[in-house]
Amino acid sequence: MDLRDDTRCRNCHTPLQGSVCHRCGQRVIDKRWTTSLLLRQFFSQLTNIEKGFLYTTKKLFTRPGKLVHDYWNGVTIPYYNPFRYMIIWTTINLLFAFWLGIDEMIQANMGPTSVEEGLGADELLAANQQFNNWMNILVLLVIPIKSAASYLLFRRKKKNYAEHLIMNSFIFGQGAFMSFVTQFVFYLFPTLFAGYFLFYFLLGVGYDSYVFRQTFKQPLWLIVLKAVLIGVIGLAALFLLIFLFSSLILWLT
C-alpha cells in the first residue's frame, strides 16, 4: 500500500496512511478537477453498491433496522445523507410521474374536486401548474409531521425527535423509490388507478411496519397498529396541505 505518512488529510488534517482518510473518509484527490474526473467521481458515488446512494437503497430493503441504528450511532460514512436521499428519490419520482402524465391519468379516473369545479379552463391550467411546482414541497412537509407521530408512539424507546426525523427521511426516500418503480404498472394498466391511493397507503404501511419492526423490536401487531396510525396521520396531513394550498390558489385566482 502506498503510505502517505508525510501527507495530511485536507479535510480533518489527520496523517494519511493510504488514499482514503481513516478518520473522516475523505478521499485523496491529488489532481486538478477536470470534467472527466468530475463525471467519474459522480458515477462512482452514484453506482457504488458498497457505499453511498445505491448501497443505501439496497440496505433499506435488506437491513433497514441496522442502517437506522448505524446512523443514529454515528456510523454515517457507508450511507447516503438521509435528507439528500429523500430529496433525490422524491424529485426523481415526481419527474418520472410528470413525464408519464400520472397526474392527468389520476384526474381522468377520478371526478373533479370542488375546487376544480369552481375554476375555468384557463384558471384550472394555471392552478395545476402552480400545484405541480409546489407539490414537491407539500410532500416533504409531511415528514416532520410523521416524525412527530412516530416520536410520540415510540417515546418509550427514548429516541429524540431528530432521530425520528432521520429514520422517517430514509423511509420516505425509500417510499419514493418504490413509487418510482411501481407507478409504471399504473401507466400500463390505467384501470388500476381506482385503487391508486389505497395501494400506496398499504405499501407505505407495510414498509413502515418492516422498518419499525427491525428498529424497535416490538410485537408485530403493535408495530402494524402504530404504522397504520402514522400512515393515517401522514395522509391526513398531506390532504390538509393540498386542500389549503388549492384553496389559496383559488383565492388568488
Residue 175 inside a domain? The answer is yes
Query: Is 218 a member of any domain?
Result: yes
The candidate with the shortest Cα–Cα distance to 20, out of 41, 4, 44, is 4
Tell me whether residue 22 is in a domain.
Answer: no
**Structural domain count of the chain:** 1
Q: pLDDT for 160-201, tens place per residue?
A: 999 999 999 999 999 999 989 988 887 787 777 777 778 888
Distance separating alpha carbons of residues 238 and 141, to the nearest angstrom: 8
Distance (Å, rounded) from C-alpha 166 to C-alpha 253? 38
Could you tell me if residue 28 is inside a domain? no
Q: Which domain holds residue 160?
A: 63-252
- Kindly state whether residue 156 falls inside one of the protein's structural domains: yes
pTM of the model: 0.74
Residue 6 lies in a domain: no
Name residues of the chain where pLDDT drops below 70: 1-7, 10-11, 18-19, 23, 25-50, 102-136, 249-250, 253
Q: What angle (nearest 5°) sits at the alpha carbon of residue 139, between those of residues 138 and 141? A: 65
Residue 114 burial (C-beta neighbours within 10 Å; 0-12, 13-18, 19+)? exposed
58: in domain: no
Report pLDDT for 50.
56
In a domain, 227, yes or no: yes
